[in-house]
Amino acid sequence: MRVLVAAKCGFCPGVRNAIRTAEKVLAQACPQEHVYCLGPIIHNEDVVERLSSTGLRTVKSVAEIDSGTVLIRSHGVAPGELDRLRAKGLHIVDATCVLVKRVQQIAQQLEKEGYEVVIIGEENHPEVQGVMGCVQNVVVAADESDLHKLPSDGKLGIVCQTTQSPEHFGRMLGAIGQAGFRELKVINTLCKEAIKRQESAIALCKRVDVMFVLGGLHSANTRRLAELCKNHNRETFHLQNWDELDKTVLIGKQVAGVTAGASTPNWVIDEFVKHLEAFDEKDG
């Protein structure tokens, strides 16, 4: 089978930095020292397991950590969490992506300027939770059905979860713009790396019979990529690796496209492509 891989896909600089930082911290830790990560370092079980085998303990909350070093992943955390970690006397290594830090700082600045902060994004996503924790009053709107949550009057200061698509951000701004607010201040906090992955995936969708989006099912940016691809090629499948693929979807297809979320390692992509290239309908 002919396989085309998206020009831009896989690890982004923020994720790469978090993994490198974890490896460095683990290599430098004393034998007795515990090294924790608050939440999975990335949405990829293989990477989490590999780092766990070299000593990285993934925990869900600050309460589970008593001593040692704690790594903050690229999604960042709210300042309140950082205060709790400091109060416990832990050594904090902050691998928050600079672009996520920027959203946090912008949200704080908007609040200082008297705006009601609005985040376009997914309320349960750790990045959004971290930004929410930076301000007193905040509304999170995932889509148009959340617009009723916006204050009925006032000045809105709007930011966006970094991995949302420009189309969605634009649609939401259009809908908010029609609601008659006195003043809107919009700061574009979308991540260019995520946009590049979305654009090259969409371009590829138009050239292939079937499209595969590789990455964790909990990864927000991978899910977003899969949604976008589905809009441009109905034969789109989001899966984590080759083993998950129902091979019957390949029958009758000549050209397959492959892309991957920002937390998908290269070796997962390479392995998938290798299997696809070798796929023969007669064996399937």
Residues with catalytic annotation? Answer: 127
Segment contacting ligand SF4 (CB under 6 A): 2-10, 57-65, 191-199, 231-239? 191-199
Residue number with CB closer to ligand SF4 (219 or 256): 219
Amino acid at 199: E
Q: Where are the alpha helices (DSSP H) in 113-219?
A: 126-132, 166-177, 192-205
| Min dist. Cβ of residue 29 to ligand SF4 (A) | 24
Q: Is 240 in the site for ligand SF4 (CB under 6 A)?
A: no
| Min dist. Cβ of residue 191 to ligand SF4 (A) | 3
Cα separation of 169 and 171, whole Å? 6
Query: Site residues for ligand SF4, window 137-176 (CB under 6 A)?
Result: 162-163
Q: Is 76 in the site for ligand SF4 (CB under 6 A)?
A: no
Q: Is 97 in the site for ligand SF4 (CB under 6 A)?
A: yes
Amino acid at 240: Q
Place of tokens 């700082």: 105
Q: Is 12 in the site for ligand SF4 (CB under 6 A)?
A: yes
CA quadruple 22, 160, 44, 10: dihedral positive or negative?
A: negative
Q: Is 110 in the site for ligand SF4 (CB under 6 A)?
A: no
Residue number with CB closer to ligand SF4 (245 or 261): 261
Q: Where are the alpha helices (DSSP H) in the chain?
A: 13-28, 45-53, 79-87, 98-112, 126-132, 166-177, 192-205, 220-232, 266-278
Sequence-distant (6+) residues with CB within 8 A of 153 are: 181, 182
Q: Contact positions toward ligand SF4, by CB under 6 A? A: 12-15, 74, 97, 99-100, 162-163, 191, 193-194, 221, 262
